């Protein structure tokens, strides 16, 4: 795929992709982009009667905080209660339509204003997590159910249970361990196929609200309501074949619900890189969701000056990839590229295993930690028994074919601990 200049891509899908597929292919139609009329009052469900809603606190570029809520289309406009002052009306991010019959609201503050007067509650819906500079991070990724080859219930899809473990881990011993945040490294929706195994319970599929709710928001509800979140875009949230109707990737839901920027009806091939300072550590996110890696993707990283930097991507810069029988391969950038010593780790997903890649020679590069076992069907990693250790001339990779997540104490030695789906450390770390 042709790589578009990162300096000019943001907000320009309709301009740049017109060279290939036409501007209209990058946008939602007028009938489905969130400008349909509100539902009549008879079709609305009141807040008190248990209407659909999801709420969370999202950490944005530069440390800004965004309170977001999803409610039934046509519901009353939510209000936020803060520590001080009168309730504030939330801003509509995007209205509902036939495929997404929900309204999305947000209220965003920079870090200084939030610290002085934090969000406390979405009135009528419930409290919001309180953000404090974290001392810990809980990490997960690749959480959706691959319904064409995986039953989307507890027998084969552990994400709902993993999400509960993630919440419990983030809230455990806060008084002694300090506050935590949760980082999701991408790939939220996998229920793309209508052709599901005959022995599996049937459920929603396709790129619409019912699928987003089943694959992410419903199982993640408890962690969303209790812990501040950072979201990274995965390759399943890219534009795909944007000329297709219906779409072939989940970009419409990504930009409605989780993207850092203002909502856009256009699919952006790449989102801009961003960074934030957590106090103990600094995060740099580079958008690698298009599934290919090129050297200029490191440009923003090499000029970044963190004290203790965590490079976060969906697709790894370097990792051991699965293959057929005994054909695992080290993939990513070719040799000769390095990263500043202040970058302590590259935290990624995309590969549906748990993995640690460490360098034993060559250019200076941080370890890669793959946290791609959040629920989707695991990758077949050759004919190896696990845990498996593979070695090259200047690297060692430890891989586990396990569902799970990770925790990271934001202090030296900056090594995430990989956990299985029950929260137990994977053997051999």
Looking at residue 4, its pLDDT comes to: 34
| Mean pLDDT taken over the chain | 84
Structure tokens, 395: 């690297």
Locus of tokens 């606190």: 57
pLDDT given for residue 2 in this prediction: 33
Q: What is the mean pLDDT of residues 120-139?
A: 96
pTM for the full predicted model: 0.87
Check residue 387 and give its pLDDT. 64
Q: Rounded to the nearest 5 degrees, what angle is found at the Cα of 149, between the Cα atoms of 144 and 155?
A: 70
CA angle 51, 166, 132 (to 5 degrees): 85
Q: Does residue 288 carry a pLDDT above 80?
A: yes
Q: Which residue has the higher pLDDT, 95 or 326?
A: 95
Query: What is the rounded end-to-end Cα distance, in angstroms, of the chain?
Result: 37
Distance CA 236, CA 252 (A): 11
Q: Domain 132-420, what architecture?
A: 4-Layer Sandwich (3.60)
Report H helices in 82-234.
Answer: 111-116, 159-171, 174-177, 209-212, 221-226
d(CA 13, CA 26) in angstroms, rounded, equals 6
**Pairwise pLDDT comparison (298 vs 44), residue with the higher score:** 298
Give residue 410's pLDDT: 96
**Does 60 score more than 70 pLDDT?**
yes
Question: What residue spans define the domains of the chain?
Answer: 31-131, 132-420
pLDDT of residue 245: 61
How far is Cα 52 from Cα 416, in angstroms, rounded to an integer?
35
pLDDT attached to residue 260: 94
205 DSSP 8-state letter: -
Residue scoring higher pLDDT (197 or 71): 71
Which of the residue ranges 113-127, 186-200, 329-343, 410-424 would you say has the lowest mean pLDDT?
A: 329-343
Distance CA(13)–CA(106), nearest Å, equals 24
CA distance 182 to 248: 28
The fraction of the chain above a pLDDT of 90, given in percent, is 63
pLDDT of residue 273: 92
Query: Residues of 152-181 as b/e, b for ≥16 C-beta within 10 angstroms?
Result: beeeebbbbbbbebbbebbbeeeeeeebbb
Half-sphere exposure (Cβ direction) of 355: Cα atoms closer than 13 Å: 33
**Bridge partners of residue 397, in order along the sequence:** 357, 390
Q: How would residue 199 be classed by pLDDT, with cut points 50, 70 and 90?
A: confident
What band does 335 get if pLDDT is binned at 50, 70 and 90?
low
Query: Greater confidence, 337 or 326?
Result: 337
**What's the pLDDT score for residue 34?**
43
pLDDT at 48: 37
Q: How confident is the model at residue 299 (pLDDT cuts 50, 70, 90)?
A: confident
* pLDDT tens, position by position, 351-363: 999 999 998 887 8
pLDDT for residue 17 is more than 70: no
More confident of the two residues 365 and 80: 80
Task: Please determine, for residue 21, whether its predicted confidence score (pLDDT) is greater than 70.
Answer: no
């Amino acid at each position: 795929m042709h790589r578009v200049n990162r300096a000019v891509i943001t907000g320009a899908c309709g301009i740049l992709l017109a060279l290939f597929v036409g501007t209209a292919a990058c946008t939602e139609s007028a009938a489905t982009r969130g400008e349909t009329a509100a539902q009549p009052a008879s079709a609305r469900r009141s807040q008190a009667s248990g209407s659909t809603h999801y709420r969370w606190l999202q950490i944005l570029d530069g440390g800004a905080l965004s309170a977001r809520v999803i409610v039934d289309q046509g519901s009353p406009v939510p209000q936020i209660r803060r520590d001080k002052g009168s309730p504030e009306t939330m801003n509509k991010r995007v209205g509902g339509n036939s495929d997404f019959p929900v309204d999305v609201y947000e209220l965003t503050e920079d870090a200084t204003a939030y610290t002085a007067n934090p969000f406390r509650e979405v009135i009528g819906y419930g409290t919001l997590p309180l953000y404090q500079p974290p001392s810990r991070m809980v990490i997960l990724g690749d959480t959706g159910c691959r319904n064409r080859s995986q039953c989307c219930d507890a027998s084969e899809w552990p994400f709902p249970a993993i999400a509960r473990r993630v919440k419990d881990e983030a809230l455990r011993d806060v008084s002694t361990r300090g506050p935590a945040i949760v980082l999701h490294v991408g790939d939220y929706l996998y229920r793309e196929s209508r052709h599901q195994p005959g022995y599996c319970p049937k459920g929603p599929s396709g790129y619409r609200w019912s699928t987003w709710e089943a694959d992410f928001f419903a199982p993640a509800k408890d962690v969303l309501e209790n812990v501040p979140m950072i979201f990274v875009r995965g390759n399943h949230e890219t534009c795909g074949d944007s000329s297709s109707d219906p779409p072939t990737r989940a970009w419409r839901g990504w930009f409605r619900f989780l993207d850092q920027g203002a909502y856009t009806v256009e699919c952006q091939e790449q989102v801009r890189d961003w960074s934030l300072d957590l106090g103990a550590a600094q995060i740099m996110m580079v958008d690698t969701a298009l599934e290919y890696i090129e050297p200029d993707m490191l440009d923003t990283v090499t000029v970044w000056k963190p004290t203790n930097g965590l490079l976060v991507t969906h697709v790894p810069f370097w990792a051991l990839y699965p293959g057929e029988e005994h054909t695992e391969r080290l993939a990513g950038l070719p040799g000769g590229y390095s990263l500043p010593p202040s970058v302590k780790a590259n935290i990624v997903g995309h590969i549906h295993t748990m993995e640690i890649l460490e360098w034993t020679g060559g250019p200076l590069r941080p370890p890669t930690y793959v946290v791609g076992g959040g629920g989707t069907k695991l990758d077949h990693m050759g004919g190896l028994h696990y845990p498996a250790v593979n070695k090259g001339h200047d690297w060692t990779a430890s891989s586990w074919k396990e569902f799970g997540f990770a925790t990271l104490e934001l202090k030296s030695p900056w090594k995430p601990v990989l956990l299985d789906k029950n929260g137990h450390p994977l053997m051999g770390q």
